[in-house]
């Protein structure tokens, strides 16, 4: 355990140092993206009711987490492969899980300022009164780790050009065709069925229901599904990282 913790601390410092040029820009982009969804999407709905405002307000942080984990993450992995950093990291005498944990920590910290900014702007823009549950912390962590696990799995498992294209496809589907900023009932029946398997709807449900607790309480289903997707994502990532070149 001491070896793992020491490896994690050193790798976390190395990852932060390596990302020092892009980290500030990523923070700015994530903050503007989350705030932009709140403000920009509001222009699409001239008559904003409380239900729509709630979907926009709670969906923006989720989209920020998806962008960090499943868009920026695979692109950074693709760049690290092309620059030789990936092979260098794998040659280090450290646990593969510590490598994954350091990457996940930096990705999560990158997403948090945008989430906070989105909720602040949403409160000012829509005058919402949220009933926040203590379960919001595990909901955000599970959403983030699901996105990070799957995103880094894409990055490590695909060739750099394919990983970049896949990350663009993910953000397109999440932003336009996933029930994150709108109810799933608005989708065609077959597509609504697809989202009962994909993690996007459960990400949105977990975060929304813990930011504004329903009268019948928070459902455990989104947490269970996201936990399963998190395990799958990190197992795929670990397998891809441990694969011989």
Question: How confident is the model at residue 244, as a pLDDT?
Answer: 60
Q: Does pLDDT of 89 surpass 90? A: no
**pLDDT band, very low/low/confident/very high, at 242 (cuts 50, 70, 90):** confident
Rg (CA), the chain: 18
Structure tokens, 168: 């663009």
pLDDT score for 166:
92
CB 54 within 8 A of CB 125: no
Quote the pTM value: 0.89
Asked if pLDDT for residue 245 goes beyond 60, the answer is no
Q: Is residue 77 exposed (0-12), middle (13-18) or buried (19+ Cβ within 10 Å)?
A: buried
pLDDT at residue 105 greater than cutoff 80 = yes
The DSSP code for 180 is T
Closest by Cα among 86, 34, 165, 31 to 23: 31
**Maximum separation of any 2 CA atoms in the chain, in Å:** 58
Q: What tens digit of pLDDT does each residue of 177-225 get? A: 999 989 999 999 899 999 999 999 999 999 999 998 888 888 999 999 9
Q: Report the share of the chain in percent with pLDDT over 90.
A: 24
Is the distance from CB of 70 to CB of 154 less than 8 angstroms? yes
Q: Which two tokens stand for residue 60?
A: 């923006």
Determine the Cα–Cα distance for residues 110 and 240; give it in Å rounded to an integer. 24
- pLDDT of amino acid 94: 80
Residues 146 and 113: their CA atoms lie apart, in Å, by 19
């Amino acid at each position: 355990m001491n070896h793992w913790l020491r490896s994690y601390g050193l790798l976390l410092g190395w990852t932060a140092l390596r990302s020092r040029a892009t980290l500030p820009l990523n923070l700015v982009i994530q903050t503007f993206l989350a705030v932009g969804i709140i403000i920009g999407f509001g222009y699409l709905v001239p008559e904003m009711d409380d239900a729509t405002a709630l979907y926009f307000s709670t969906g923006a942080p989720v989209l920020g987490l998806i962008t960090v984990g499943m868009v920026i993450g695979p692109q950074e992995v693709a760049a690290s492969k092309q620059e030789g950093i990936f092979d260098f990291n794998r040659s280090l005498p450290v646990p593969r899980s510590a490598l994954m944990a350091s990457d996940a920590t930096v990705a999560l910290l990158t997403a948090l300022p945008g989430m906070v900014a989105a909720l602040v702007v949403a409160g000012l823009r829509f005058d919402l009164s949220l009933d926040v549950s203590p379960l919001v912390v595990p909901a955000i962590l599970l959403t983030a780790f699901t996105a990070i696990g799957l995103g880094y799995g894409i990055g490590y498992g695909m060739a750099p050009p394919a990983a970049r294209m896949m990350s663009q496809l993910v953000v397109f589907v999440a932003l336009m065709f996933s029930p994150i900023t709108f109810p799933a009932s608005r989708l065609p029946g077959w597509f609504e069925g697809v989202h009962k398997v994909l993690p996007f709807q459960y990400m949105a449900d977990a975060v929304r229901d813990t930011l504004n607790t329903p009268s019948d309480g928070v459902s455990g289903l989104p947490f269970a599904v996201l936990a399963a997707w998190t395990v799958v994502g990190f197992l795929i990532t670990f397998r891809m990282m441990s694969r011989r070149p």
